């Protein structure tokens, strides 16, 4: 765009065509804002012609999870409760990206209100994994991950209250970042405020750094710090927590190989013991349930029939929790946060798999998991503690479904976390792979 070889309208129009062609198979788009995006691209073009750059994302089309409010553009949360809601104002995260020059191209699919098990009977049926269209995509920000992995948009926003950015990113072979609690304003995103973050899903660590810089209001250039030497890094593995999760064999093998790459990069890999991480995962969902019920109680009473069966049950669970349950869960979070902070006195980052299972179907039927925290055992603890966590691809299963690595950093330590992730990414081939979907076959049998 800077040298004139690509115009914003060319890019937007190409992505609109691509979305219309692939959407019937992928099902990741709820609303395609074609006319508005083309109009914004024309404005961006005229600004570029006179040298008036508005920010680091000038002319770049992005997708937005459909639980994040967009002014003048329908925001449904994939629920019949909000099927016709058109917000008057952008959520702060969207407003910040627009100020950085981004163009909102599409509102992207999700689990209803980001807290339910998706169903073919939903307002919009669940997205398919572009790497294996017979499988659903994992996690509530599934539409955002599918859209980015499939090349429908260069980047997207998701929300994460227990792993809902990181899990779909890992499942689709892209990068997903949950920022430090409070770094990015998550209001206007219909999430539980104590534990939910708005963050980027991108095809590369560099793009995640670019998006985070914009989301954080330009207070820091995360991109500039990427290519600085990370120096001597100690990477901690919470070994007992990893073993408790009993990950599928291919997940464990990919994680072990990722640690070998880290060692080859000069990273010192050491075991650490952090007591209570699984308890924090379970406590995170106590907070989620309590805050979700508080937000939905009135609508559940007046419009309960408009919720899907799963979303109705999920959002009513908090009715059976006491104030004491909620307070104890927050205390668990504070205790584990202190333990994680103490671990960071000895190591620079932590590493785990992203999820202990390969497929969305396994994740959504994992009631027999032999531990607390379920399939969010690796991701949910860090929602409750508030530490930044990033998922990036680290392997491919025999079934052709991507596998992700999670890196966790100090509170406010996104620059160091992104730098370590970038070093790993550049040493591995995974970020360069693309799903074979340009001539997609019809999805196979339902799973």
Tokens of 15: 């992505």
> Could you tell me which residues are beta bridge partners of residue 83?
none
Q: Which long-range contacts (CB under 8 A, 24 or more apart) does 320-326 make?
A: 321/286, 321/289, 321/290, 321/293, 325/286, 325/290, 326/286, 326/287, 326/290
The residue annotated as part of the active site, out of 19, 67, 116, 140, is 140
Q: What is the number of other CB atoms lying within 10 angstroms of the CB of residue 146? A: 34
The one catalytic residue in 144, 150, 164, 247 is: 164
Other beta carbons within 10 angstroms of residue 72's beta carbon come to 12
Report the C-alpha gap between 230 and 413 in whole angstroms.
13
**Backbone torsions φ then ψ of 250, nearest 5 degrees:** -70, -30
164 classed as catalytic: yes
140 is catalytic: yes
Residues 420 and 348 sit within 8 Å (Cβ to Cβ)? yes
- CA distances, 81 to each of 28, 308, 316 (Å): 20, 9, 15
Does the annotation count 423 as an active-site position?
no
Alpha-carbon dihedral sign for residues 162, 278, 255, 446 = negative
Residues with a catalytic annotation lie at 65, 140, 164
């Amino acid at each position: 765009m800077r040298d004139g070889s690509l115009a914003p309208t060319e890019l937007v129009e190409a992505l609109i065509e691509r979305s219309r062609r692939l959407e019937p198979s992928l099902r990741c788009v709820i609303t395609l804002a074609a006319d508005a995006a083309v109009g914004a691209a024309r404005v961006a073009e005229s600004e570029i012609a006179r040298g008036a750059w508005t920010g680091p994302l000038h002319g770049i089309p992005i997708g937005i999870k459909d639980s994040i409010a967009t002014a003048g553009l329908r925001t449904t949360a994939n629920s019949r409760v909000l099927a016709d809601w058109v917000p008057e104002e952008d959520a702060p995260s969207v407003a910040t990206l627009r100020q950085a020059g981004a163009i909102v191209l599409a509102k992207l699919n999700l689990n209803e209100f980001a807290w339910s098990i998706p169903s073919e009977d939903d307002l919009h049926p669940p997205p398919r994994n572009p790497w294996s269209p017979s499988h659903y995509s994992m996690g509530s920000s599934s539409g955002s991950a599918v859209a980015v992995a499939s090349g429908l948009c260069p980047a997207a926003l998701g929300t994460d209250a227990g792993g809902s950015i990181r899990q779909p990113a890992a499942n689709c072979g892209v990068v997903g970042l949950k920022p430090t609690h409070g770094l990015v304003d998550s209001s206007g995103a219909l999430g539980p405020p104590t534990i939910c973050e708005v963050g980027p899903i991108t095809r590369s660590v560099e793009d995640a750094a670019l998006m985070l810089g914009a989301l954080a209001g330009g207070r820091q250039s995360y991109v500039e710090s990427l290519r600085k030497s990370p120096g001597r890094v100690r990477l901690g593995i919470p070994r007992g927590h990893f073993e408790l999760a009993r990950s599928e064999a291919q997940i464990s093998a990919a994680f072990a190989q990722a640690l070998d790459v880290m060692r080859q990069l000069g990273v010192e890999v050491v075991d650490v013991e952090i007591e209570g991480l699984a308890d924090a995962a379970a406590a995170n969902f106590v907070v989620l349930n309590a805050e979700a019920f508080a937000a939905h109680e009135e609508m559940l009473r007046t419009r309960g029939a408009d919720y899907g069966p799963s979303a109705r049950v999920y959002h009513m669970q908090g009715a059976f929790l006491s104030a004491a349950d909620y307070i104890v869960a927050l205390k668990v979070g504070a205790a584990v946060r202190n333990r994680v902070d103490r671990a960071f006195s000895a190591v620079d980052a932590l590493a785990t798999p992203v999820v202990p299972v390969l497929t969305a179907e396994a994740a959504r039927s994992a009631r027999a998991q032999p531990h607390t925290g379920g399939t969010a055992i690796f991701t949910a603890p860090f929602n409750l503690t508030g530490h930044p966590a990033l998922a990036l691809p680290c392997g491919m299963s025999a079934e052709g479904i991507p596998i992700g690595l999670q890196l966790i950093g100090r509170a406010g330590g996104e620059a160091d976390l992104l730098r370590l992730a970038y070093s790993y990414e550049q040493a591995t081939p995974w970020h360069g792979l693309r799903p074979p979907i340009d001539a997609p076959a019809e999805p196979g049998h339902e799973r």
